[in-house]
C-alpha cells in the first residue's frame, strides 16, 4: 500500500470514529476518570486508578452497565499536575460527563467554582476543600465519607482512649508530620484547639513538597523532641519515606499514626521494622467480597485490567473501588429519581445527594461489610462517617478497633467557621438555587 493510500485510509478512519461517537453517546453514560499513572505520585495513583476503572468496567461486563445503560469510561492522565488536570477537565467537558473526580486537591480547587456553571458534579472523596461538606453552600461538590478534621479528631480520640481517657493527654507531646501544603496544613487549627482543650503539646514537622523523600531533618528533630505520639498527614512518596525514616531513627512504631492515605507499598518500604504502624481507614482490605470476586472474574482474568492479579484487593485498590462505588450509586440513584436511563450531570448531582448506602444495599451490591453505611443529604455532602484504626502486622493490614466516631462538636465548629469565611470572602458566591429532593 502506498503512503498516499494509507493516509487516506487514516483520514477516513478518523472521520468515521469521530462521527460514530455522538450516535453511541445517546444511550450511554460518560464517566471520565482523572488518573495519574505517571509522575512522582504514580505509586499511589496507579492502584487507585486500577480500582476505579475495574469496578465500573465490571459493572459493564457483568450487568451491561447501570440500569441497562452502558458506561463509557475514559481515563485522562493528569500526572497529579494542576495544568494537565485543568486540560483534562476542558477536554471532557464537552462530552457531557456525569461526574468528575479530580484526585488532587490542587485540581479540585479550580474546578469548584466551575462545577455549578458547567453543571458537572465534583466528587472529591475525602480530599479537596473540607468546607465543601456544606451542601447548602456547595451544591455541586461532594467529599464523602469524612473530612480531614473528622480524621484528626478520630486519631486524637483513639490516642486518648489508649491513654485511658482524653484528660490523660495533659502534658503529653504530639508530633504532627505533614506535607507543607494546604492539604497538610488543614488539620492545624483543629489540632491547636484540641491541644488547648486537653492540655497536650504540639510539635510541628512540616515536609516541603520538593523534599518529601528526604525527611532526615524532621526525624532528627523528632529524636530531640521525643514526641509521645506522631501523627502523619502525607501523600505520595512522603508516606513511604516517613515510615522508612521512622524505622531508621528508632521511633516506636506503635506510637506512629496516619490519616487514611498510606498504602501497602508504603508500609512495606519500612521493612520488618514497620510492624505496628497504624492508620485510619473506612473500608475493608482484601478481595473476599462477591463484587471484588466479580472484578477478578469479569475484568482481571479476561485481561481487561492493568492491575496485576495480586494487587486486587489491596488498600488503595479498594479505595478506588470505593470511589467508583459512589459514582455508580450516584448514577443508580439518579436513575431511580428521574426515571431516565441516560442521566445527565444535573441528575447525578441529585442522585449523589440522595445516596443511601446502608448494609442492605451494600449486601445487594455484593459488598457486605466492605464499609460502614453512608447517607448523604441536601445539606450534608460529606456524611462525617466514622473510620477505624488498622495496624500493619509486617505483611498486611489488620483492623484493630471498632469504628471511631469523630468529635462532632469541635469539627462542626471548624466547618461553620470555614464555610462562613468562604462565603464572606467570596461576596459574589452564588446562593444555592438547586431544589432539594423530598427524600433528603
Partner 1 sequence: MLYREAGQFKTNYVADSAIFPLREDRIGIGLIILAAYALAFLGNSFLLQAVMIPFLVFSLASIGLNILTGYTGLLSLGTGAFMGVGAYACYKLMTAFPGVNVIVWIFVSGFFSAGIGALFGLPSLRIKGFYLAVATLAAQFFLQWCFIRIPWLVNYNVSGALDAPLRTLFGVPIMGPNATPQVRYLVVLTIVILLTWLASNLVHGRIGRMWIAIRDMDLAAELMGIRPLQTKLLAFAVSSYYCGVAGALLVFLWYGGAEYDVFNINQSFFILFMVIIGGLGSLIGSFFGAALIFILPIVLGIVLPAVMSPFGITVGSDVIEHLRFMIVGALIIFFLIVEPHGLARLWQIGKQKLLAWPFPY
Q: Is 17 in the site for partner 1 (CB under 8 A)?
A: yes
> 2, 19, 26, 210: which one contacts partner 1 (CB under 8 A)?
210
Q: Which ranges in 105-145 belong to alpha helices (H)?
A: 105-118
CA separation for the pair 294, 296 (Å, rounded): 5
Burial zone of 348 (CB within 10 Å; 0-12 exposed, 13-18 middle, 19+ buried) = buried
Q: Is 19 in the site for partner 1 (CB under 8 A)?
A: no
> 216, 395, 408, 426: which one contacts partner 1 (CB under 8 A)?
426
> 37, 248, 341, 356: which one contacts partner 1 (CB under 8 A)?
37
> 64, 83, 161, 225: which one contacts partner 1 (CB under 8 A)?
83
Smallest gap from Cβ 106 to partner 1, in A, equals 5
**Contact window for partner 1 (CB under 8 A) among 156-164, 237-245, 328-336, 418-426:** 418-426
Q: Is 86 in the site for partner 1 (CB under 8 A)?
A: yes
Q: Is 192 in the site for partner 1 (CB under 8 A)?
A: no
Cβ of 115: how many Cβ atoms within 10 Å? 22
Q: 198 and 414 in contact (C-beta within 8 Å)? A: no
Grid coordinates in use for 21? 461517537
x/- mask, partner 1, residues 62-81, rule CB under 8 A, reads: ------------xxxx-x--
Q: Is 213 in the site for partner 1 (CB under 8 A)?
A: no
Q: Is 91 in the site for partner 1 (CB under 8 A)?
A: yes
Smallest gap from Cβ 182 to partner 1, in A, equals 4
**Contact window for partner 1 (CB under 8 A) among 61-69, 88-96, 233-241, 356-364:** 88-96
> 10, 220, 400, 439: which one contacts partner 1 (CB under 8 A)?
10
Dihedral pair phi/psi, residue 148, rounded to 5°: -65, -30
CA separation for the pair 367, 55 (Å, rounded): 12
93/396 with CB nearer partner 1: 93
Q: Is 412 in the site for partner 1 (CB under 8 A)?
A: no
Residue 178 pairs in a beta bridge with 206, 233
x/- mask, partner 1, residues 119-158, rule CB under 8 A, reads: ----------xxx---------------------------
Estimate to the nearest angstrom the gap between the alpha carbon of 185 and the chain centroid. Answer: 17
Strand segments (E) across 200-255: 201-207, 229-233
Smallest gap from Cβ 12 to partner 1, in A, equals 8
**Contact window for partner 1 (CB under 8 A) among 164-172, 310-318, 386-394, 421-429:** 421-429
Grid coordinates in use for 326? 459512589
203/209 with CB nearer partner 1: 209
Q: 160 and 198 in contact (C-beta within 8 Å)? A: yes
Number of chain residues interacting with partner 1 (CB under 8 A): 50
Residue 69 pairs in a beta bridge with 66
Let me know the angle formed at the C-alpha of 87 by 83 and 93, rounded to the nearest 5 degrees: 145
> 44, 60, 116, 354: which one contacts partner 1 (CB under 8 A)?
116
182/217 with CB nearer partner 1: 182
Is 173 strand, coil or helix?
strand
Grid coordinates in use for 222? 523528632
Grid coordinates in use for 260? 487514611
x/- mask, partner 1, residues 223-252, rule CB under 8 A, reads: ------------------------------
Matching residue, cell 451542601: 135
**Contact window for partner 1 (CB under 8 A) among 219-227, 255-263, 377-385, 413-421:** 413-421
60/371 with CB nearer partner 1: 60
CA separation for the pair 59, 71 (Å, rounded): 8
Instruction: Tally helices (H) and strands (E) across the chain.
Output: 15, 13
Dihedral pair phi/psi, residue 74, rounded to 5°: -145, 130
Q: Is 180 in the site for partner 1 (CB under 8 A)?
A: yes
Matching residue, cell 525514616: 245
Q: 229 and 248 in contact (C-beta within 8 Å)? A: no
Q: How far is CA 197 from CA 154, 168, 358, in A?
A: 15, 12, 35
Q: Is 302 in the site for partner 1 (CB under 8 A)?
A: no
In the complex, the residues that contact partner 1 under the rule CB under 8 A are 9-10, 13-14, 17, 35, 37-38, 74-77, 79, 82-83, 86-87, 90-91, 93-94, 105-106, 109-110, 112-114, 116-117, 129-131, 180-182, 185-186, 189, 209-210, 306, 417-418, 421-422, 425-428
Amino acid at each position: 500500500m502506498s503512503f498516499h493510500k494509507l493516509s487516506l485510509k487514516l483520514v477516513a478512519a478518523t472521520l468515521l470514529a469521530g462521527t460514530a461517537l455522538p450516535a453511541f453517546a445517546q444511550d450511554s453514560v460518560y464517566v471520565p476518570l482523572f488518573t495519574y499513572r505517571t509522575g512522582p505520585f504514580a505509586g499511589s495513583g496507579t492502584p487507585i486508578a486500577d480500582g476505579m476503572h475495574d469496578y465500573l468496567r465490571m459493572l459493564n461486563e457483568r450487568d451491561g452497565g447501570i440500569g441497562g445503560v452502558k458506561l463509557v469510561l475514559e481515563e485522562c492522565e493528569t500526572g497529579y499536575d494542576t495544568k494537565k488536570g485543568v486540560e483534562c477537565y476542558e477536554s471532557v467537558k464537552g462530552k457531557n460527563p456525569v461526574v468528575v473526580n479530580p484526585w488532587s486537591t490542587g485540581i479540585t480547587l479550580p474546578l469548584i467554582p466551575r462545577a455549578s456553571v458547567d453543571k458537572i458534579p465534583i466528587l472529591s472523596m475525602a480530599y479537596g476543600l473540607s468546607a465543601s461538606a456544606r451542601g447548602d453552600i456547595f451544591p455541586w461538590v461532594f467529599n464523602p465519607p469524612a473530612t480531614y478534621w473528622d480524621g484528626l479528631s478520630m486519631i486524637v480520640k483513639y490516642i486518648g482512649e489508649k491513654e485511658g481517657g482524653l484528660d490523660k493527654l495533659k502534658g503529653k507531646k504530639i508530633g504532627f508530620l505533614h506535607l507543607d501544603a494546604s492539604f497538610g496544613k488543614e488539620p492545624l487549627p483543629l489540632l491547636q484547639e484540641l491541644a488547648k482543650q486537653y492540655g497536650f503539646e504540639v510539635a510541628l514537622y512540616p515536609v516541603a513538597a520538593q523534599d518529601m523523600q528526604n525527611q532526615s531533618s524532621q526525624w532528627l528533630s523528632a529524636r530531640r523532641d521525643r514526641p509521645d505520639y506522631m501523627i502523619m498527614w502525607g501523600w505520595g512518596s512522603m508516606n513511604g519515606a516517613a515510615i522508612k525514616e521512622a524505622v531508621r531513627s528508632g521511633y516506636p512504631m506503635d506510637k506512629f499514626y496516619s490519616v487514611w492515605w498510606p498504602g501497602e507499598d508504603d508500609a512495606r518500604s519500612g521493612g520488618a521494622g514497620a510492624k505496628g504502624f497504624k492508620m485510619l481507614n473506612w473500608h475493608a482490605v482484601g478481595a473476599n467480597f462477591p463484587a471484588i470476586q466479580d472484578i477478578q472474574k469479569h475484568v482481571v482474568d479476561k485481561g481487561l485490567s492493568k492491575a496485576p492479579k495480586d494487587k486486587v484487593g489491596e488498600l488503595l485498590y479498594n479505595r478506588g473501588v470505593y470511589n467508583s462505588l459512589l459514582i455508580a450509586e450516584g448514577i443508580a440513584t439518579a436513575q431511580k429519581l428521574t426515571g431516565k436511563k441516560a442521566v445527565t450531570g444535573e441528575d447525578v448531582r441529585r442522585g449523589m445527594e440522595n445516596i443511601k448506602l446502608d448494609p442492605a444495599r451494600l449486601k445487594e451490591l455484593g459488598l457486605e461489610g466492605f464499609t460502614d453505611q453512608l447517607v448523604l443529604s441536601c445539606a450534608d455532602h460529606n456524611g462525617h462517617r466514622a473510620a477505624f484504626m488498622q495496624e500493619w502486622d509486617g505483611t498486611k493490614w489488620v483492623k484493630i478497633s471498632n469504628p471511631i466516631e469523630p468529635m462532632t462538636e469541635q469539627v462542626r465548629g471548624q466547618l461553620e467557621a470555614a464555610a462562613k469565611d468562604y462565603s464572606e470572602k467570596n461576596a459574589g458566591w452564588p446562593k444555592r438555587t438547586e431544589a432539594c429532593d423530598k427524600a433528603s
